[in-house]
Amino acid sequence: MIWRWLALCLSTVGFAQTNGTLSGPDGLALTERIVQLTEATSLTAPGLARSAAPMLENMKQLHRNARVANRLTLTLSQGLLIEARGYLAVADSIRKPFPYPEEARKQTAELRDAVARLDAHFQALLEATEAQLRGSDRDNLRRYAEANRSVPPSSGRRVVFFGDSITDAWRLNEYFPGMDFVNRGISGQITGEMLGRMRADVIAHKPQAMLILAGTNDIARGVAVETIQNNLTMIADLCEFHKIKVILASILPVSDHHKDKNPRFEMTVGRPPAVIRALNTWMVDFARKRGFTYLNYFDAMVDEGGFLKAELADDGLHPNSAGYRIMAPLAQAAIEATLPATNPQQKGGRKRQK
């Protein structure tokens, strides 16, 4: 018996990394096992399955969300812990049949150990997050620090492309040759982090306009819509104060078209289309009231079902070359509308800075 217990403990500890957190695959494996054990043990006592049904369904949804994120995030870990602990409390309160099956006892013990491992992961993530917030570079200002020092004076029609991975991966020199366009996208960032980079990565370059494409990561991380709106408003306020014109790009649609290739590509779970549409609607109204340019990528890239067209992205989120070919002329038209050329020579400019 002691060897079985020891093997069980070792199998649980095997999920751990040296800092106490789980790797992406290990976190997903632990989450899946918790769901499996919950489902199995809920069938061992009369009435338990019915009582546990809402919690089990929530666990399954959290597991699906973790698969999309490809990791067990702080928020997902907390949600799963709440549901799992709630289930164990209900299971403990329900009378068990006698004799209680030995296999059920083993599964319940394994479930408790798995929940304890999940709690350790959650606590480690919490500590890491707090350390990052206390750190000296929460917003990743070091990413472009060296490049920013080498940016020459503005040509007179400079535009900073500001955003997350969709901007970061956009090779602007290929799509806008000869233009003074500066790419300051950082993969994975949310609007709050972009707000912290405004002076160093936008204002310091003295652009005539800023094109911002942001918000999809906020949605995926569960940032409140009101907070996203507030961050975009403050970014726009800073631009206006420094006489930088604002081009506000719609959040791109997402899709699940490629989830059969990889479960991570089920994008609508973490980025609900309804939330994307609501934020885009707000942007339209915000841009109209403030006199900003609204750049509508969404309508050009959405299919009849309300999702990102399958051929425009290979993962349901990030545009491929076909996607960028749709976006480029729309961005160019928005820039021309925002910074109309007073003479033909102003249509060009220096090459985009790195």
Which pLDDT belongs to residue 264?
Answer: 80
What is the residue-averaged pLDDT of the chain? Answer: 88
Q: Provide the residue ranges of all domains of the chain, joining segments of one domain with +.
A: 2-134, 141-339
Strand order in the sheet with 181-185: 181-185, 159-163, 209-213, 245-249, 293-295
Residue ranges of the alpha helices (H) in the chain?
A: 2-13, 24-41, 48-69, 74-93, 102-134, 145-149, 165-168, 172-175, 191-196, 198-201, 216-221, 225-241, 273-290, 298-301, 321-338
Q: How far apart are CA 31 and CA 67, in angstroms?
A: 10
* Residue 185 DSSP one-character state: E
pLDDT of 299-354, one tens digit each?
999 999 999 999 999 999 999 999 999 999 999 999 999 998 755 444 444 444 44
pLDDT of 214-264, one tens digit each?
999 999 999 999 999 999 999 999 999 999 999 999 999 999 999 888 888
Q: Does domain 141-339 have CATH number 3.40.50.1110?
A: yes
Per CATH, which fold does 2-134 belong to? Four Helix Bundle (Hemerythrin (Met), subunit A) (1.20.120)
pLDDT of 2-56, one tens digit each?
333 333 333 333 333 446 788 888 999 999 999 999 999 999 888 999 998 999 9
Which pLDDT belongs to residue 344?
Answer: 46
Which pLDDT belongs to residue 126?
Answer: 85
Q: For the residues 197-209, what does the mean pLDDT come to?
A: 97
